[in-house]
Amino acid sequence: MREHGGNLDVAQQRFGGAAEDWIDLSTGINRVPYPLVDVEPRQWNALPSRSEIESLHAAARQAYATDAPIVAMGGAQAAIQLLPRLAPRGRARILAPTYNEYAAVLSVAGWDVSEVSDLAALAGADIAIVVNPNNPDGRRHDRDELLALLPRVGRLVIDESFADAVPDISLASEAGRPGLLILRSFGKFYGLAGLRLGFALSCEPDIVTLAAMTGPWPVSGAAIAIGRRALLDRDWAKATTARLANDCVRLDAEARVQGWTLVGGASLFRLYEVGDALAAQEKLARAQIWSRVFQQKPGWLRLGLPGSETEWSRLSAALSV
């Protein structure tokens, strides 16, 4: 099994409690989700129409400030699963450390996968992958430096799953260029990961190929209705971006009191060097707060942001023990 956050069942097995007793800070999912809207019965009992899917695409283009070809999918993960089928098997290079599904998916499909530590080392790859902002350390990359890679790789995949709160770094507006593929997650920023919604943006041939592989009903009617409304609600996005920025400062202050060092982070998570991450995770888990540790980095602890004053109080109390 590959390491991921959100493995609350592991926390329950080790430390007890029902799922609702826990504060799950092991993921980068917004704990103040977009308010659920009423979904018409037909969204549940009828297949989505082409016009409804296109209305979702239009909302995503507006939210991401692009006119590039786009296809909705069952989360960004669905697009990752299809990456090996976009081109003949070859060399894949991944800017690491990062989200571990890329290496796993491409390796299983027979690609020659290597992880590199700087952008220049991606040159020559048939598929080059950059997560921007990066998960788990929040590293960001300049737009021009990323675009300069395009003629040096077969296909450049930019995962912007955590870019909603920092739209200035997004390359979505450039996604119509041949060889550039942008992946966006809906569920993280909007706090509705269970909806399973994401988008791929690219040039027309790649989007046609991806759309053919996902089939005529790639997302549910409920995902279309909720996703469209949320993506068009720019006031909510602006207010959420401001709140997340403040909450990052607040969490970093809590960490400094513990003597933890900030490694990095994005708007929905922070990564700290804590010395003994397993001990820190267990300390929080005794208060039924779950966090993310990394087998290859025994000092790293990643925390999402609490979603209410009650959650903040529980976190402060757990850290003070």
Q: What is the pLDDT of residues 281-293, one digit of tens each?
A: 999 999 999 999 9
Q: What share of the chain has pLDDT > 70, as a percent?
A: 100
Count: domains in the chain: 2
- 62, 76 Cβ separation under 8 angstroms: no
Q: Decide if 12 is inside a domain.
A: yes
What single-letter DSSP state applies at residue 124? T
Residue 202 and residue 125: Cα distance in Å, rounded?
Answer: 18
β-strand partners of 134: none
Helices 309-320, 234-257: axis angle to 10 degrees equals 10
User: Is the pTM value of this prediction over 0.85?
Assistant: yes
What pLDDT is recorded for position 3? 82
Locate 77 and state its tokens: 């993960």
Q: Which pLDDT score is estimated for 233?
A: 98
Residues 226, 89 within the same domain: yes
Residue-wise pLDDT for 49-65, tens only, equals 999 999 999 999 999 99
- Domain end, chosen from 232, 253, 281, is at 232
Residues 111 and 252 reside in one and the same domain: no
Whether residue 3 lies inside any domain: the answer is no
130 and 183 inside one domain: yes
Q: What tens digit of pLDDT does each residue of 150-201 get?
A: 999 999 999 999 999 999 999 999 999 999 999 999 999 999 999 999 999 9
Query: In this structure, what CATH number is given to the domain that contains residue 46?
Result: 3.40.640.10
**Residue 267 belongs to domain with CATH number:** 3.90.1150.10
User: Which of 187, 214, 232 is the last residue in one of the domains?
Assistant: 232
What is the distance between the alpha carbons of residues 33 and 189, in angstroms, rounded to a whole number? 8
| 201 belongs to a structural domain | yes
Distance between CA 194 and CA 293 in Å, rounded? 23
- What is the pLDDT, as a whole number, of residue 210? 97
Can you tell me whether residue 255 is helix, strand or coil? helix
Residues 60, 199, single domain; the answer is yes
Cα distance between residue 231 and residue 222, in whole Å: 14
pLDDT at 13 over 80: yes
Q: Are residues 147 and 159 in the same domain?
A: yes
Do 225 and 239 lie in one domain? The reply is no
Question: Is 212 in the same domain as 306?
Answer: no
Q: How far is CA 131 from CA 10, 97, 111, 261, in A?
A: 27, 10, 19, 23
Residues 70 and 185 grouped into a single domain: yes
Q: Is residue 155 part of a domain?
A: yes
**List of residues 6+ apart from 245 with CB closer than 8 A:** 165, 267
Q: Which of 232, 251, 270 is the last residue of a domain?
A: 232
Domain shared by 28 and 53, yes or no: no
Same domain, 292 and 216: no
Q: In the structure, what pLDDT confidence band is assigned to residue 227 with cuts at 50, 70 and 90?
A: very high
**Residues 121 and 182 occupy one common structural domain:** yes
Residue-level pLDDT at 37: 82
Q: Which of 265, 256, 261, 283 lies closest to 273 in space, CA to CA?
A: 261
* Domain-located, residue 187: yes
Establish if 2 belongs to a structural domain: no
At 156, list the tokens: 């450049």
In a domain, 168, yes or no: yes
The verdict on 47 and 192 lying in the same domain is: yes
* Strands 297-304, 269-273: pairing kind: antiparallel
pLDDT band at residue 1 under the 50/70/90 scheme: low
Domain assignment of residue 119, yes or no: yes
Q: Which domain holds residue 66?
A: 41-232
Place of tokens 């929905």: 268
